[in-house]
Chains A and B, each alone.
Chain A
Amino acid sequence: MQIFLNGEACEVEANSTLLTLVLSLGADPRGIAIERNLEIVPKSEHASTILQPDDHLEIVQFVGGG
């Protein structure tokens, strides 16, 4: 199924959770935050949140800035 990850269309397996998606992308789950359809999903719910078709995800982390 298709979702939108950081603004780009992306294919994921049906019934994937947020946590499996993050791990499959190779991101370090520490220090990231996830917004799903404009709602923040707390870290404690990443493993239990099942992705739905056309979900819009924003996955962010800290970078250098002034």
Chain B
Amino acid sequence: MTTDTALEIAGHSFSSRLIVGTGKYASYKQNAEAARAAGAEMVTVALRRVNWSNPDEERLQDALTPSEFTYLPNTAGCFTADDALRTLRLAREAGGWSLVKLEVLADQKTLYPDMEETLSAAKALIKDGFDVMVYCSDDPVYARKLEDVGCCAIMPLGSLIGSGLGIQNPLNIRLIVEQARVPVIVDAGVGTASDAAIAMELGCDGVLMNTAIAEAQAPILMASAMKHAVIAGRQAYLAGRMGRRLYADPSSPLAGLI
């Protein structure tokens, strides 16, 4: 049986190809259980003002410790390159990590990435020493430009953030995979396990998801389903699927029929 290689991103090595978010859960405790059930080694985190009014508020870092999970600070909520740079510089100071997820959004309604601002921010961050995993549209041309400026992972959307609509343009995802020399990770849009499997069958190196697990009726069970879906999709990709035929091809021998 073909054994899989590790997922390598900017010198970090991961055996899990599923990255999970830490938003929208009932509690950080449930979040941590889901991340473990997903087999995730990396979690995305956001950076926000300290809430002085409630000092007893549970802290992310108590439930999901940076020693158990690699933190991937994001720039969610940033709509300009400058906002994203400011946020990630603070994240690097807070955590000491230079591996980050860049996302620069265009508008609140779609949270679609603003690719012009994203490319500009990616260049500035890489110049400043960051390892940039970049959330992007499923445009193969911009994906190539982001790789050319030095992004360490290309993360196209399957569909809009939080939509659960799956991979709307598998052709584009495949085109991005074909040309990429860095890992391609579908980020956003996964709704259920089959979506994750499809991403992996297309040859993606990993999947990043949040809402599909957090908003499932039973998040821990869905996290486990996603773990298996990513593994199944990856193995199917490595195995190489059969060709498609228009007509039937019998599996039982035609010779010796009575």
Residues of A within 8 A of B55 (CB): 26-27
- Taken residue by residue from 32 to 48, chain A's Cβ proximity to chain B (1 for < 8 Å, 0 otherwise) reads as 11110010101100000
Residues of B within 8 A of A14 (CB): none
A13 within 8 A of B: no
Cβ contact within 8 Å between A59 and B50: yes
A6 to chain B, nearest CB (A): 4
Interface size class of B (residues with CB under 8 A): 20 to 34
Residues of A within 8 A of B89 (CB): 40
B105 to chain A, nearest CB (A): 12
Interface size, chain A (Cβ < 8 Å) = 26
A29 to chain B, nearest CB (A): 11
- Taken residue by residue from 227 to 244, chain B's Cβ proximity to chain A (1 for < 8 Å, 0 otherwise) reads as 000000000000000000
A23 within 8 A of B: no
Cβ contact within 8 Å between B211 and A25: no
A42 to chain B, nearest CB (A): 7
Cβ contact within 8 Å between B49 and A58: yes
A7 to chain B, nearest CB (A): 8
Cβ contact within 8 Å between A63 and B48: yes
- Taken residue by residue from 9 to 23, chain A's Cβ proximity to chain B (1 for < 8 Å, 0 otherwise) reads as 000000000000000
Q: Which residue of B lies closest to A63 (CB)?
A: B48
B70 within 8 A of A: no
Per the bound structure, the CA–CA distance linking A40 and B9 in Å amounts to 27
Contact of B47 among A27, A28, A30, A60 (CB under 8 A): A60
Cβ contact within 8 Å between A62 and B50: no
Cβ contact within 8 Å between A61 and B52: no
Cβ contact within 8 Å between A66 and B48: no
Give me 16 A-to-B residue pairs in the complex whose CB atoms sit less than 8 angstroms apart, sorted by A's number.
Answer: A6-B50, A25-B52, A26-B55, A30-B61, A33-B91, A35-B90, A40-B90, A43-B93, A59-B49, A60-B48, A60-B50, A62-B60, A63-B47, A64-B21, A65-B44, A65-B74
